[in-house]
A and B are shown apart, each in its own frame.
Chain A
């Protein structure tokens, strides 16, 4: 029987330090056993448990897209016990990945729609994956206009900048990068994310939004979106809560009757409106 608690063994292939404060690192993993990559079939928006033997597990959103073969990407912010330990690990070290867990963004349901992707800070990871996936030739034709609005506290905190710079040159996606405050060498948009969204957000007709970020960013951006005519059903958030099993069993991540791990982490604002704000 397939044991959902058993991680796939992986090797750290590459570690990129993302920010000046050295708190964000992006890990590139390769599966140790051939065939595991096939089994690990996922879509953007899902997450996985990074499993460090002897230390524990942390649930992290998958930053790579299944269209990028051969590896998985995860960006980890150093906060607790496992993430700190992970930051001290080296390329070549062996650990585990358990997943994929949760539900992806509702790509199937949104076919034919325009998509607005809004990311604040390092919450960009699963949205970056969504961007990559949507731009894949196999998928791009199924969707209308795609806009990507991405802001962070400073330019150095914008992750995956190379991808976004490349996308800026394409004509099948509109990319708006912004820094919350002025910075040397930054000639892009400046302003708090909700304000930028107000300025550049495309019309709400036949459009859906993926929104990820710090709670305060979500709160204000949501208001802006509602004013712009977006409906609660069309705004999708990705929640996070403390998790252990990721399987909807261990009980700590629930928001009302829903488990963030099993039933989420992607919820529409409409789905959340009838639930307690315990996230």
Chain B
């Protein structure tokens, strides 16, 4: 839509303006402590790589209480679950990396699918204005280009910001984003040439080639599924599920009830397809009994199933968290490369 600049000296004022009547969330802390948290306009960081945990935690917390009931027979509705509702408040997120913003859109299509709308997700997702921060210096593990993303990607964002000489450059992407920036003292400017130039530079700094995994979406599903490399790809795996906990698009959860003598609560907790319990039937039958099926499930889901359901968009956004976090170095880039071509022989 339109482009603006904010001078370095006006940054605090700018963040004050965008967070008027809203909570401001932005990455705080260093290294593994870097996370998306409520913060104040004067503490905004521009020099982080990315948050340790993905921002999905702000929309889909590790534990979320959905319903509750009481057991007091003297009151109405005893033993009947009541909606705890979604307590989302208007907020503005500053500093989402484009890969993570795209990840949220992938999860959003699952939480608001063709038949059902998850009210807990929807409330939080739609009450958040999202200002992205483009990546000028991708980390060594980044590969957004390979999965159809860009260091200046715009999906899922209301405004895309980038650090430029003497301040911030802004590009508004939605009506809401435009209205938000208009309400500040940001000065309009023409930045498209600069953005294009910087985007190309940032692409160049990534090791990944553009769209190099696209061929996976074109291959036959069962052929990819039956490739002989899977047992060897999975051999290292500890089934710890760290990859799924850190993934910006992994959205699987478990629903659990807990109760005391006074009442109870139904909540959902992050779950992981790496756990054998995830698919275990009460009868004892398990459709994915060993780690080979479970590891395959994760990669197939990211790179084959989600593209089928979401018009070719990968369920992996190239943020590289799983690459770094995996204790046994199962690198999704290597696996994706294997999934790109038929493998005749199984190799390590």
Contact = CB atoms under 8 A, between A and B. Distances in A.
A257 interface: yes
B222 A80 contact: no
Contacts of A4: 116-119
B259 A53 contact: yes
Contacts of A81: 282
Contacts of A247: 113, 115-116, 118
Given A4-B116, A242-B278, A247-B118, A278 B293 contact: yes
Among B113, B116, B273, B279, find the residue whose CB has the most chain A CB atoms closer than 10 A.
B116
Interface footprint category on B = 35 or more
Contacts of B118: 4-5, 247, 249
Nearest to B288: A278
Contacts of B281: 240-242
A5 B66 contact: yes
Contact-residue bracket for chain A: 35 or more
A1 B117 contact: yes
Interface string B27-41: 000000000000000
Interface string B69-90: 1000000011111110000000
Contact of A279 (B66, B254, B287): B287
A155 B85 CA distance: 49
A53 B308 contact: no
Given A275-B222, A278-B297, 20 more contacts: A5-B66, A5-B67, A5-B83, A5-B119, A6-B67, A6-B81, A53-B79, A53-B81, A54-B69, A54-B257, A54-B264, A242-B282, A244-B254, A248-B110, A249-B116, A249-B253, A250-B255, A252-B279, A256-B221, A256-B300
List the 3 closest pairs (A to B, CB-CB), nearest first: A80-B282, A54-B259, A251-B252
18 contacts: A5-B266, A6-B67, A6-B81, A51-B81, A53-B264, A54-B258, A58-B282, A94-B78, A94-B80, A245-B255, A245-B268, A247-B113, A249-B253, A251-B271, A252-B252, A254-B305, A256-B305, A257-B304
